[in-house]
Chains A and B, each alone.
Chain A
Amino acid sequence: MFWLKVLEITSLYTILVLGIYLMTGLTGLFSLGQGGFVSIGAYTAAIAFVRFGFPFPLALVAAVAMGAVLGLLIGIPTLRLRRDYFLLVTFGFGEMIRAALLYLSQLTGGAMGMAGMPRRAGLPLILVSIAVITFITYSLKRSRFGRKCVAIRDDELAASIMGVNVFAQKIMVFVISSAITAYGGALYAFNILFIEPNLFNWLESGKLIIITFVGGLNSIAGVIAASAIYYSFGEFFRFIDVWRDVLLALVVILVIIFRPGGLFQGLELLPRRLKAQRKVR
Chain B
Amino acid sequence: MTDVLRLEGISKRFGGVVAVEEFSLTQGRDAITGIIGPNGAGKTTVFNLATGVYPLDSGRVFFGDREITRLPPHRRTDLGIARTFQNIRLFRNLDVLDNLKVAHDMKVRYTLWEEMLRLPRVRREERKIHEQALHYLDYLQLTRYAEARPANLPYGIQRRLELARALMTEPRLLLLDEPAAGLNPQEVRTLMDTIRKVREDHRLSVIVVEHHMELIMNICSHIHVLDFGKKIAEGRPEEIKKNEAVLQAYLGDEG
Chain A contacts to B: CB under 8 angstroms: 136, 139-140, 143-145, 147-148, 150-151, 153-155, 157-166, 172, 217-218, 280
Contact = CB atoms under 8 A, between A and B. Distances in A.
Interface stretch (B30-38, B70-78, B189-197, B203-211): B70-78
A162 B117 contact: no
A61 B85 CA distance: 46
Given A136-B117, A151-B102, A160 B72 contact: yes
B5 to A, nearest CB: 15
Interface residues of B, number: 33
Interface in B106-146: 106, 108, 110, 112, 115-118, 122, 126
Given A136-B117, A160-B73, A161-B51, A147 B78 contact: no
A158 B116 contact: no
B201 to A, nearest CB: 21
A148 B102 contact: yes
State the main secondary structure of chain A at its contact with B: helix
B91 A150 contact: yes
Interface of B: 51, 53, 72-74, 77-78, 83, 85, 89-94, 98, 101-103, 105-106, 108, 110, 112, 115-118, 122, 126, 147, 165, 169
B74 A164 contact: yes
B116 A159 contact: no
22 contacts: A136-B116, A136-B117, A139-B115, A140-B116, A143-B126, A144-B105, A144-B110, A145-B115, A150-B98, A151-B102, A157-B73, A158-B89, A158-B90, A160-B72, A163-B74, A163-B77, A163-B78, A163-B103, A164-B74, A164-B105, A165-B74, A280-B147
A170 to B, nearest CB: 13
A159 B91 CA distance: 8
A151 B91 contact: yes
Given A147-B98, A148-B105, 15 more contacts: A139-B118, A140-B115, A147-B102, A151-B91, A151-B94, A154-B94, A155-B89, A158-B85, A158-B91, A159-B102, A160-B77, A161-B77, A162-B74, A163-B77, A217-B93
Contacts of B73: 157, 160-161
Given A143-B126, A153-B93, A218-B93, A163 B105 contact: yes
Identify the interface centre among B77, B92, B102, B112: most chain A CB within 10 Å of its CB. B102
A251 to B, nearest CB: 24
A218 B91 CA distance: 14
B205 to A, nearest CB: 17
A220 to B, nearest CB: 14
A158 B83 CA distance: 10
B117 A147 contact: no
Identify the interface centre among A139, A147, A148: most chain B CB within 10 Å of its CB. A147
Contacts of A140: 115-116
A145 B112 contact: yes
A172 B117 CA distance: 16
A228 to B, nearest CB: 24
B91 A154 contact: yes
A163 B126 contact: no
Contacts of B105: 144, 147-148, 163-164
A160 B110 CA distance: 20
B116 to A, nearest CB: 5
A157 B89 CA distance: 9
